[in-house]
Structure 1
Amino acid sequence: MTASAIEANAVTAALGADAPALPHAPAQPSARRLLGLYLLLGFSAGLPFYMFNAVLTLRLARHGVDIVIIGFFAWIALLPTFKFAWAPFIERYDIPGFSRFWGRRRGWIMLSQLGIFFSMVAMALTSSDESLPLTALFAILLAFWTTTLEVAADGWRIELAPGQAAQAPIVAANLWGYRSAMVAAGSGAILVAAWADWTIAYLVIAVAAFAPFPLLAAMRPEREGAGGRALALASGIGTSLLILLTAALITAAAGWALLSAAAGIGLSATTNVTPVVLAMALLPFAALALALPRINRLPSGTAATLPSFAAPYVELFWRYSYAVLAMLAFVSLYRMGDVLTLTLSHPLWNAKGYTLHQIGVADGAVALSASMAGVALGGFLSTRLSLGWTLAIGAVTAAVGNWIYVWLWHADPSAAVLYTSVAVDQFGNGFAGTVFVVYLSMLVSPTNAGAQYALLSGFAFLLPRLLAGASGSMQTQIGYDGFFLLSGALSFAAIFLLPVIARVKGRTPA
């Protein structure tokens, strides 16, 4: 039995799906339970996201950290961009203790939740931000374990529901959970910080993020004869603590080396990093352009004979050939505005004098309702219209969501201005995000779903997150209004690649 079949059968057993598990094909939970599963998984992954991103930038701004340094912290969000580097490892190896009893994917999810919990507790205990390197270390660890959780869930989703019509409602449910959690975390943390302090805020979200762990631990084993639950839980936690400690030490050593190198070349808050960032962003395109002629000439099926790490990616590049360059350019532009807006929107609100309570409400009820409306409409239209049309609508709504902040910057501060701006932004973000996930899901091969989706979704945010790290530098040169005009224009520019993207058809192996 294949690993995917075993895991799918485990889902069926755990959720009590109606259909019996087949020995050589992924078993399908009922549609209702599959939607519930991905609502929960989306919620689990979404809670920590704002805590190393938007909430952290607001926290740093309230502590008086320079806007350029705050921009540098946006580079932490680059980590999910490179999730393809460890996605094959997640799909191939088990977590001792956890995986033996609950299966490989649930094992990785449980390890990730432990990592998320302890990283957020560490961020709570260093919430004064007196040592920015320590703040960065724990934020990086939080980003790593959050991303690992997403990788384990994404491949499962694509295996269980191939096809656009099947993907759209699951993607919508997943994003409902994800965005609900992001908004709940952002709004909840900010409101708690307004009432108490940042330490309490991070501890509250850490406990909430850990809530799914006991639910997973209470699920049925992957298969009969898996052994005792208590022993599996104890050995899994013990192994996980060793893994978490090792990851923290490696990250600390790598961070120290990187900071030393940056100091050695004179990188500081006064350095204009934008040209360097743009040059770095072009490197992956150049490397792939050089490799494509050789990959294109490979005989059909060659990718299957390559090492497991390389095979999924070579198969993707071989299947789409030179068109993959246009695809990657399109996905790099499509979410540009959303990423750049997330980086500087909270410092913008802080600069305009909005209170933590007002920001908390905007990040809460306003953002949640608008985002869910966008997700729902995006999921609905993805089942009714061609992807070309839904992607075009998403690009427009995302651009308008950026440009609305130009109005906010020039308008007199008021709750109505803030809430209207956030509603427009989050509706466009929710709509564009939904159709974008459906589009990426249609590009991957079912046999390499997890790794290929990790590559595409990670690459989609490489250029935006590289530029996000330079957002503070850009803001000092063109102001907040110029920054949000530019970010919206970059999202809108993806429309001009749609005629090319719509005609791309992958090769079929002989």
Structure 2
Amino acid sequence: MIAGKRGKLRQVDPDRRRLMLLYLLLGFSAGLPFYMFNAVLTLRLSRHGVDIALIGFFAWVALLPTFKFLWAPIVDRLSVPGFSSFWGQRRGWIMLSQLGIFAAMVAMAFTADDTNLPLVALFAILLAFWTTTLEVAADGWRIELAPTQEAQGPIVAANLWGYRSAMVAAGSGAALVAARADWMWAYLAIALLAFLPFPVLAAMRPEPLAVAKRTGALLRGLGVSVPILVLSSLATALVGWLALRGFSALGITSDSNVTPYVLVICMLPFLALAVALPRIRKMGEDAPWRRSPALGPYVDIFWRYGFATLLVLGFVSLYRVGDVLALTLSHPMWDARGYSLNQIGIADGAVALPASIVGVAIGGWIAARWRLGWALAVGALFAALGNWVYVWLWQARPEGWILYASVAADQFGNGLAGAVFVVYLSMLVNPRFPSAQYAFLSGFAFLLARLLAGASGTMQQEMGYDGFFLLSGALSLAAILLLPFLARVVPRGMSAGPERPV
């Protein structure tokens, strides 16, 4: 579905401005921790001499957001005791998530010597889980509050400004602190910064139907959060232990070429959907799968789009591959090329932030005014160019201005493509299931990218950094080939599935 509207933007009213400021804050809340378990962690591991293949495996931590649809219905249907009784369901989950983010990042700070990699992986996974849960609650709320393409454009831009500003603050701030102190203090500093939105949210006005006092709701919410955080940590440790035993039994080590296995795994969802789609397409309104609280939101996507669902999912899974691969190995490449932590900190801060903000602003503007097909094509082109510029960086002499120019081009293209892509995904969603369906689509969108990112270390060993970034740029551009077919995709009516309880 790519149909869009042309015309002038309306003047932003006060309510829309407040909504944009809110999503600027929420984007900031999610962007800080994301960079700390992703790019900053790979840089930290690289500085500690961890093998490049193992660093690539750590990129699989970012696979967790891909499967957020598994717990998104819980966020849609259940409330957090204490917090939700005063601040509402969405803010309740956001506040619980921020506590989880703070705890996980502090734990990563005290394992910052990287001598116990399984423990580092555990805390990185917990950080990814709570960051993703925050995003699930915030995305569902955004789609409810702004259901149209025109309304989504400015709010998505504000959200991504906050998100990318936080990523820059995390990347630049962590590198600069680590250069002057060590990685423990870098993670503690960012943990404190990530916690700042919590008191802001706690000071906000209550929901209209609030049933508790502010102080009582806060104390009860904090009390309930402790056992939730402990239980989630124990469950994650158990799953991680079982996974490590499974990998060991299969003989997978840092020397294994995992790329073929990754590609096979990526094909499995498409094969399963192809088998199930004929039955889903024929379902009536009272079909149990369509009315199921757990499965209904996802079955609805396939019911509305039919066999075109495979085309849509193929496109969204390809569109951001290049940027995810570039993010995974860009920092280790800068380190291998001889750039200092101070130079990397400047690149991640003073250079990346304005370039990203401009890219997001232009992406949000064209997503609101152009047909989405053209906007998506422009985004893919600039994303590819941002990846290819790193080929030049790798082959050129290590001079500061080369690093800064390359990062500026990469962040501009990444920001532009990201803003357009979020609007496109939001327009695919049935407003009756905003959190669950957006979680599924945005998670599936990064399945291929993050599976390949985990194999990026072994890919780099086979083709070198220049070959790796040539490939990542080509994958970004390849999505354009599907746009003419995607333009013909039109969903049928909305589902009659279960509504979210008030």
- The equivalent of 1:206 in structure 2 is 191
- The equivalent of 2:170 in structure 1 is 185
Matched, 1:75 2:48: no
- The equivalent of 2:394 in structure 1 is 409
Deviations 1:452-480, CA, capped at 9 Å, x for gaps: 11100000000000000000000000000
Q: Does the 8 Å contact 2:56/2:453 carry over to 1?
A: yes
How far did residue 226 of structure 1 move? 2.3
Separation (CA, whole Å) in 2 of partners of 1:89 and 1:382: 31
Separation (CA, whole Å) in 1 of partners of 2:96 and 2:209: 22
Q: 5+ unaligned residues in a row in structure 2: which ranges?
A: 1-12, 496-502
The equivalences for 1:37-52 within 5 A come to: 37-52=22-37
Q: Does the 8 Å contact 2:143/2:431 carry over to 1?
A: yes
How far did residue 509 of structure 1 move? 5.0
How far did residue 29 of structure 1 move? 7.6
Which amino acid letter does the alignment assign opposite residue 265 of structure 1? L
Separation (CA, whole Å) in 2 of partners of 1:51 and 1:94: 28
Q: Does the 8 Å contact 1:323/1:504 carry over to 2?
A: yes
How far did residue 302 of structure 1 move? 4.0
Secondary structure of the residue aligned to 1:30 is helix
- The equivalent of 2:427 in structure 1 is 442
How far did residue 305 of structure 1 move? 5.2
Which amino acid letter does the alignment assign opposite residue 273 of structure 2? L
Separation (CA, whole Å) in 1 of partners of 2:30 and 2:397: 36
Secondary structure of the residue aligned to 2:49 is coil
Q: 1:63 aligns with which of 20, 38, 48?
A: 48
Separation (CA, whole Å) in 1 of partners of 2:453 and 2:290: 39
Secondary structure of the residue aligned to 2:293 is coil
Separation (CA, whole Å) in 2 of partners of 1:417 and 1:455: 38
Matched, 1:123 2:108: yes
Q: Does the 8 Å contact 2:290/2:297 carry over to 1?
A: no
Separation (CA, whole Å) in 2 of partners of 1:225 and 1:385: 41
Q: Does the 8 Å contact 1:408/1:417 carry over to 2?
A: yes
Q: Between 235-244 and 63-72, report the one with greater CA deviation.
A: 235-244
Q: Does the 8 Å contact 2:352/2:408 carry over to 1?
A: yes
Which amino acid letter does the alignment assign opposite residue 61 of structure 1? S
- The equivalent of 1:223 in structure 2 is 208
Secondary structure of the residue aligned to 2:50 is coil
Separation (CA, whole Å) in 1 of partners of 2:224 and 2:40: 31
Q: 5+ unaligned residues in a row in structure 1: which ranges?
A: 1-27
Which amino acid letter does the alignment assign opposite residue 481 of structure 2? F
Matched, 1:31 2:21: no
Residues 94 and 29 from structure 1, CA distance in 2 versus in 1: closer, same or farther, beyond 3 angstroms?
Answer: farther
Percent identity between matched residues is 67
- The equivalent of 2:295 in structure 1 is 310
How far did residue 383 of structure 1 move? 2.1
Q: Does the 8 Å contact 2:290/2:299 carry over to 1?
A: no
Matched, 1:140 2:110: no
- The equivalent of 2:335 in structure 1 is 350
Separation (CA, whole Å) in 2 of partners of 1:371 and 1:307: 41
Q: Which runs of 4+ in 1 moved over 6 A?
A: none
Deviations 1:383-402, CA, capped at 9 Å, x for gaps: 22100000000010000111
How far did residue 300 of structure 1 move? 4.5
The equivalences for 1:159-170 within 5 A come to: 159-170=144-155
Q: 1:383 aligns with which of 354, 363, 368?
A: 368
Deviations 1:139-195, CA, capped at 9 Å, x for gaps: 000000000000000011011111111100000000000000011111111111011
Q: Between 301-310 and 389-398, report the one with greater CA deviation.
A: 301-310
- The equivalent of 2:266 in structure 1 is 281
Separation (CA, whole Å) in 2 of partners of 1:96 and 1:104: 9
TM-score by length of 2: 0.95
The equivalences for 1:327-346 within 5 A come to: 327-346=312-331
Q: Does the 8 Å contact 1:300/1:509 carry over to 2?
A: no
Q: 2:221 aligns with which of 236, 258, 261?
A: 236
Separation (CA, whole Å) in 2 of partners of 1:271 and 1:349: 25
